Amino acid sequence: MTNAIPKGNTWEIYGDRYPDFWSKGTPVCTLDPDTFFPEGYNSHHREKQATRFCAECPYKKECLQFALENDEWGVWGGTTRYERTQMRRKLGYA
């Protein structure tokens, strides 16, 4: 599991919109969004598969930080929502 150390609030950086990692030319983030937000049958397995796409992403830490701060669902920063829930508890998020 990846450790994230928050370095400020991403809302201060991005305002009331999602961070635009996708426009920075990261090939992974140009995949079908359903890859990172699997639903339905076997979604847990597909979610774990999606985390592999994030392995080499240069924005992995920023993406993870955003998801931790905002309690996002789906795959962010190479982690599942369940993994981030555990991280949020350890890091003292509400």
Under 8 Å between Cβ of 4 and 83: no
Return the bridge partners of 76, or none. Answer: 79
What pLDDT shows up at residue 56?
81
What pLDDT shows up at residue 23?
60
Is the Cα torsion angle 27, 29, 34, 38 positive or negative in sign? positive
What pLDDT shows up at residue 24?
62
Q: What is the pTM for the complete model shown?
A: 0.72
What pLDDT shows up at residue 68?
92
* Rg from Cα positions in the chain: 13
| Average pLDDT of the residues in 73-93 | 92
Per-residue pLDDT tens over the stretch 33-80: 888 888 888 888 888 888 998 888 888 888 898 899 889 989 999 999
